[in-house]
């Protein structure tokens, strides 16, 4: 079961060389994987790239025809560890999951993968869930790329650029023996467009070849002294190889303009927003022609010193449009310029917000301040058009009359009576400490229920209450969903409580699929699935790790029994 079916659209994946592909960004990524000769793909479903897992599931027949192995991973760490196949063998592999939370879960596997280095291309496709459309903590993937030295691609959000990033990402990975991250923001995942297709490619070296002719490289195993060798390799070999590949293949782009005493440096994924802001000021058109030179970082890590210096030399100032905090790229560019004795002023977070999503209005405001300081002659005489003035006035008049509406359960949702029963029980027993978890049930933290003290991560509801697990008059309560339970809750929440003899109550809400990520099947799903093993009982699983007291309630609308 999935939120959306791509059964019809996946036929586009069969397009041959020279034919035109027209469709959605996620489908284009899948086509690019097939054109790149990928051998295996794995992923954990999660917005905003959950549809990539759905597309791959619906394209199972096409993957089988090409000999491609597809795994729906139990969690992000499982997905990342799948890339181990590319360490010893010339196999191209890709995995996918949500950015910040996914890399946090997968951090151990990714760090070991990066230390080992890869033989075949290894691509990590991340849904960068940052900004106003996100439901998670506001963090960037950039820090993780720097920490483990994994190259980070951030392509311009159009289909040709995204497809090119997938294909060159594999080549960059192989040229530098380093895994590569491909960062896609929510809008880029669902943008529509077209590109000229190429033929799908069957891997020359297959998974069966790897199984039948196993090859072992002891110096790729992350243990001393090899781990110290890996660190030197990163600095002395892999980094220079990556910089050389990026420069020679012109992965970054420069768009010239006549106002060449200033310039703009921008992350590739923010390019469309920047161009729209320039257009509203009158300094660019809808086709990308700009009066202010723009240097587009389709690769945001590593930076190429020679390109940065070449773009900035001779300019009075450049504006760096870097979304999110801290200002990693701004620090690096200032370091590069000072080391090269280039005195061009690099403006960034001084003119743009320190944090928050860079919408068109936000970028425009920063641009106006930059131009006012360095090229006021480029500013229009009036910054606000009559149309913008009317819109602002309309918003101001409406805003006081729009009431706040917290997110809530769908009408008739069977999770709603669970929390109603908890509120009724608390009338007799008093309030309890309740450890919440990721999922639809997190709506219980809002009015009218207002239940829940903390959220620590997917499947960590029970673990979040573990410090309060000592026996006493009043028990702590923990909430888990079935998706989080299979993600890592069985071990981290339930198994941990059994091992430590915790005296608490864990409520596992089972709706038969992973609802928080779009409605994909999981181990306990009741639906028949041609490619997956379903119908595995949650109650049997918890009893299997030693839980003695369990109750299963199938009708949550029986509020008296729930209470």
Cα angle for residues 82, 83, 85 (degrees, 5° grid): 90
Phi, psi of 364 (to 5 degrees): -60, -45
Tell me the per-residue pLDDT of 329-384, one tens digit each, with 9 for 90 and over: 999 999 999 999 999 999 999 999 998 889 999 999 999 999 999 999 999 876 55
Q: What is the dihedral of CA 419, 424, 425, 427, to 10 degrees?
A: 130
Q: For 23, how many CA atoms within 13 A lie in the half-sphere containing its CB?
A: 23
Residue carrying structure tokens 């240097």: 295
Q: Return the closest-CA partner of residue 9 out of 401, 26, 19, 1.
A: 26
Q: At a CB cut-off of 8 Å and minimum separation 6, what does 477 contact? A: 422, 432, 433, 434, 435, 465, 504, 505, 506, 507
Residue 302, preceding peptide bond in cis (omega within 30° of 0)? yes
The Cα–Cα gap between 172 and 279 comes to 34
The answer to whether residues 295 and 266 touch, using CB atoms and an 8 Å cutoff, is yes
Whole-number mean pLDDT of the chain?
A: 91
Q: What's the predicted TM-score (pTM) here?
A: 0.89
For the cut 60, the answer to whether the pLDDT of residue 3 exceeds it is: no
Sign, Cα dihedral of 45, 47, 51, 52:
negative
- The DSSP letter of residue 551 is -
For the cut 90, the answer to whether the pLDDT of residue 562 exceeds it is: yes
Q: What radius of gyration do the chain's Cα atoms show?
A: 26
Tell me the per-residue pLDDT of 289-315, one tens digit each, with 9 for 90 and over: 999 999 999 999 999 999 999 999 999
Give the residue-averaged pLDDT of 235-261: 97
Q: For 506, how many CA atoms within 13 A lie in the half-sphere containing its CB?
A: 36
The Cα–Cα gap between 16 and 13 comes to 9
pLDDT of residue 303: 98
Tell me the per-residue pLDDT of 463-515, one tens digit each, with 9 for 90 and over: 999 999 888 888 999 999 998 898 889 999 999 999 999 999 999 999 887 77
The Cα–Cα gap between 464 and 479 comes to 10
Q: Which two tokens stand for residue 36?
A: 């790149």
- The DSSP letter of residue 21 is E
Q: At a CB cut-off of 8 Å and minimum separation 6, what does 227 contact? A: 115
Q: Return the closest-CA partner of residue 2 out of 45, 41, 31.
A: 45
Confidence of residue 387 (pLDDT cuts 50, 70, 90): low
Phi, psi of 449 (to 5 degrees): -80, -45
Beta strands in 64-199 (DSSP E): 69-72, 93-98, 122-128, 151-153, 180-185, 192-196
Query: 495 by DSSP, 3-state: which?
Result: helix
Q: For 394, how many CA atoms within 13 A lie in the half-sphere containing its CB?
A: 6
Between the two ends of the chain, the Cα-to-Cα distance in Å is 31
Q: For 119, how many CA atoms within 13 A lie in the half-sphere containing its CB?
A: 15
Question: 482, exposed or middle or buried, with CB in 10 Å at 0-12, 13-18, 19+?
Answer: buried
The secondary structure element, H or E, covering residue 508 is strand 505-509
CA distances for 533 relative to 59, 90, 231, 293, 548, angstroms: 18, 30, 41, 55, 26
The Cα–Cα gap between 483 and 533 comes to 15
Q: Which residue has the higher pLDDT, 391 or 317?
A: 317
Give the residue-averaged pLDDT of 74-94: 95
pLDDT of residue 385: 58
Residue carrying structure tokens 């010893």: 88
């Amino acid at each position: 079961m999935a939120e959306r079916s791509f059964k019809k659209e996946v036929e586009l994946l069969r397009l041959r060389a020279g034919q035109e592909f027209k469709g959605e960004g996620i489908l284009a990524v899948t086509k690019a994987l097939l054109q790149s000769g990928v051998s295996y793909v794995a992923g954990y479903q999660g917005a905003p790239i959950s549809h990539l897992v759905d597309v791959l599931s619906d394209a199972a027949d096409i993957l089988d025809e090409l000999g491609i192995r597809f795994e729906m991973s139990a969690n992000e760490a499982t997905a990342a560890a799948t890339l181990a196949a590319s360490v010893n063998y010339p196999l191209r592999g890709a995995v996918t999951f949500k950015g910040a939370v996914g890399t946090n879960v997968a951090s151990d596997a990714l760090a070991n993968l990066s230390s080992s280095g890869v033989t075949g291309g290894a691509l990590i496709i991340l849904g960068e869930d940052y900004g106003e459309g996100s439901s998670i903590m506001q963090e960037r993937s950039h820090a993780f790329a720097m920490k483990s030295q994994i190259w980070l691609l951030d392509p311009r959000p159009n289909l040709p650029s995204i497809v090119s990033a997938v294909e060159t990402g594999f080549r960059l990975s192989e040229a530098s023996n380093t895994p590569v991250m491909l960062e896609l923001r929510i809008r880029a995942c669902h943008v529509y467009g077209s590109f000229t297709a190429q033929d799908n490619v069957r891997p020359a070296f297959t998974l069966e070849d790897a199984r039948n002719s196993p090859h072992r490289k002891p110096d790729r195993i992350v243990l001393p002294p090899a781990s110290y060798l890996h660190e030197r390799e990163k600095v002395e070999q892999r980094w220079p190889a990556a910089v050389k590949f990026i420069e020679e293949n012109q992965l970054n782009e420069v768009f010239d303009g006549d106002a060449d005493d200033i310039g703009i440096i921008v992350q590739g994924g923010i390019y469309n927003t920047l161009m729209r802001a320039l257009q509203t000021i009158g300094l660019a058109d809808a086709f990308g022609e700009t009066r202010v030179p723009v240097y587009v970082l389709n690769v945001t890590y590593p930076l190429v010193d020679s390109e940065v210096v070449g773009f900035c030399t001779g300019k009075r100032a450049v504006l760096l449009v870097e979304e999110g905090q801290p200002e990693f790229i701004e620090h690096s560019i200032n370091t590069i310029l000072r080391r090269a004795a280039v005195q061009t002023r690099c403006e960034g977070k001084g003119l743009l917000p320190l944090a928050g999503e860079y919408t068109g209005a936000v970028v425009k405001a920063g641009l106006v301040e930059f131009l006012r300081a360095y090229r006021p002659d480029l500013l229009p005489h009036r910054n606000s058009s009559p149309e913008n003035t009317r819109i602002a006035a309309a918003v101001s008049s409406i805003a006081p009359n729009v009431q706040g509406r917290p997110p809530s359960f769908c009408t008739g949702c069977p999770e709603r009576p669970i929390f109603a029963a908890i509120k009724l029980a608390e009338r007799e027993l008093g309030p309890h400490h309740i450890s919440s978890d990721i999922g639809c049930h997190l709506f219980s933290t809002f009015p009218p229920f207002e239940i829940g003290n903390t959220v620590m991560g997917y499947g960590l509801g029970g673990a979040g209450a573990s410090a309060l697990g000592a026996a006493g008059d009043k028990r702590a309560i923990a909430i888990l969903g079935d998706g989080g339970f299979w993600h890592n809750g069985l071990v981290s929440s339930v198994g941990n409580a059994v091992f430590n003899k915790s005296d608490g109550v864990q409520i596992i809400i089972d709706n038969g699929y992973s609802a928080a990520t779009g409605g994909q099947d999981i181990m306990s799903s009741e639906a028949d699935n041609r490619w997956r093993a379903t119908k595995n009982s949650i109650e049997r699983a918890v009893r299997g790790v030693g839980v003695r007291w369990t109750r299963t309630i199938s009708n949550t609308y029986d509020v008296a029994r729930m209470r």
